Amino acid sequence: MTARTTRSAAGPAGTAAREPQLQQTLTEFLIDEQRKVPNATGSYTALVNDIRLACKRIANIVGKGQLVDIHGKAGSVNVQGEAQAKLDIVADEIFHRTHLRGGTVAAMLSEEHEHVRPVPPEYPRGRYLIAFDPLDGSSNIDINVSVGSIFSVLLDPDPAAEIGPEAFLQPGSRQVCAGYAIYGPTTMLVMTLGHGVHGFTLDREIGEFILTHRDMRIPEEASEFAINASNSRHWEPAVSRYVDECLAGASGPRGRDFNMRWVASLVAEAHRILLRGGVFLYPRDERASARKGKLRLLYEANPIGFLIEQAGGRASTGDSPILDVQPQGIHQRTAFVFGSRAEVERIEAYHRDHNAKRYDAPLFGARGLFRTTAGR
């Protein structure tokens, strides 16, 4: 952002008033983007405007905390068998209702709903599909730690056909827009329209998102890793090796010390990695319940993966690019590894290595906190 410091020529002689320092708003950013596309209908801009409104509405409610009675468990479970928080349901309703009238969306897919929800016939059908995790990291709500909303936008593949789940089964490389809102000490909207990643901070006094982080790039050098280490006894050899080597620090094969982080909120981890670099792993593991991983492909891994790749990082299943995965189901889970490119490539190389040979934890792992079991 360049601050404008020129004096107004229109001011009275000798008392020229300073022009106000106006930072670029999301609205102005979108107008500029739309003007780059000849014959744009404005539908895409209208869609992003609705996403913005939904996130502001959710930020408002999340920010009230215990002052309003929408905290705690809802007493229900979602399609994934996970207990729903009351705020999961409220955020889902807000996201859904905010996108009904605009004529931009044909159908919506949410973590909190088993089935795809087409826009009902009383409203115009739009060109886009939107998949979302209305409240990510909701286990953190009651302890006042950052949560977020994640969204992924695809084109409706067949605007003449009745819409069903198969319309959403497109690889992440076909996303036309993706991003998240993070509800932390400040509320931010971070998104890509397919040309870089930009971050906007909500100015609550004027109710507008302001462009504060233009062209976000993931630092290449990074010394932080994020993983839920309580699952270490179930990890695959490639993951055990990577973490063992980080923990061995300066005296191990990496020759430098690493730091570990785990917020249990994908949005918060992605935000930190976009700004500070590092790597995130939620790998599949040996348990029957975790063989496919934990995070959901269409509304968690794909949108975060698109952002990470657009910011110069890498997003992977551990074996191959996440954005190339052909989805088989709308609530499909996946292993997910993302962050600074060189670290993710190293983890992919370890997966290739240990397809062929087992991992024998070397001596530097013997006294480690997460000592691997013998024979892996």
Is residue 365 near ligand AHG by the rule CB under 6 A?
no
Bridge partners, 15 (sequence order): none
Give residues with Cβ within 8 angstroms of 77, minimum separation 6: 83, 84
Q: Which of residues 136-195 bind Mn ion (CB under 5 A)?
A: 136
Which string of x and - marks every residue 184-223 that binds ligand AHG (by CB under 6 A)?
Answer: ----------------------------------------
From candidates 1, 40, 79, 264, binder to ligand AHG by CB under 6 A = 264
String marking each residue 221-260 x if it binds ligand AHG according to CB under 6 A: -------x--------------------------------
What are 359's two structure tokens? Answer: 């991992």
Residue 133 as a binder of Mn ion (CB under 5 A): the answer is yes
Q: Contact with ligand AHG (CB under 6 A): which of 102, 126, 137, 318?
A: 137
Q: Pick between residue 20 and residue 81 the one whose CB is nearest to ligand AHG.
A: 81
Q: Which two tokens stand for residue 46?
A: 């209208």
DSSP for 111-172, written as a single string: TT-SS-EEPPTTS---SEEEEEEEEETGGGGGGT--EEEEEEEEE-S-TTSPP-GGGG---G
Which does residue 232 touch among Mn ion, ligand AHG, none (CB within 5 to 8 A, set by kind)? none
133 binds ligand AHG per the rule CB under 6 A: yes
To which residue do tokens 């993070």 refer?
182
C-beta neighbour count of 75 within 10 angstroms = 8
Burial class of residue 120 in the structure, from the number of CB atoms within 10 Å of its CB (0-12 exposed, 13-18 middle, 19+ buried): exposed
Sole binder of ligand AHG in the list 84, 110, 138, 316 (CB under 6 A): 138
Cα 71 to Cα 75: distance, rounded to the nearest angstrom: 12
> Which residues within the stretch 68-97 sit at the binding site for ligand AHG (CB under 6 A)?
82
The string of DSSP letters for 78-93 reads -TTSPEEEHHHHHHHH
18 Cβ contact partners less than 8 Å away, ≥ 6 residues apart: 5, 7, 8
Restricted to residues 274-333, the positions that interact with ligand AHG (CB under 6 A) are 282
Q: Which does 8 bind (CB under 5 to 8 A by kind): Mn ion, ligand AHG, none?
A: none
Residue 265 binds which one of Mn ion, ligand AHG, none, with CB within 5 to 8 A depending on kind?
Answer: ligand AHG
Closest-approach residue to ligand AHG (CB): 266
Closest C-alpha to 86, from 152, 14, 141, 17: 141
Q: For ligand AHG, which is the closer residue by CB, 264 or 349?
A: 264
Integer Cα distance of 46 and 40 in angstroms = 11
Q: In this complex, which beta carbon is closest to Mn ion, that of residue 244 or of residue 300?
A: 300
**Nearer to ligand AHG by C-beta: 146 or 175?**
146
Number of chain positions touching Mn ion (CB under 5 A): 4
Strands 83-85 and 73-77: antiparallel
Question: Looking at 53-61, 137-145, 234-242, 359-367, which segment touches ligand AHG (CB under 6 A)?
Answer: 137-145
Nearer to ligand AHG, 138 or 175 (CB): 138
Fill in the amino acid letter for 28: E
For residues 136 and 151, the answer to whether their CB atoms sit within 8 Å is no
Residue 281 C-beta: closest distance to ligand AHG, Å:
10
The secondary structure element, H or E, covering residue 238 is helix 237-248
The minimum distance between CB 178 and ligand AHG, in angstroms, equals 16
Name the token pair of 101. 């009238």
Task: Rule CB under 5 A: say whether 92 interacts with Mn ion.
Answer: no
Are 106 and 43 a contacting pair, CB within 8 Å?
A: no
Other CB atoms within 10 Å distance of the CB of residue 305: 31
Binding-site ranges for ligand AHG (CB under 6 A): 82, 111, 133, 136-139, 228, 264-266, 282
* Sites of contact with Mn ion (CB under 5 A): 111, 133, 135-136
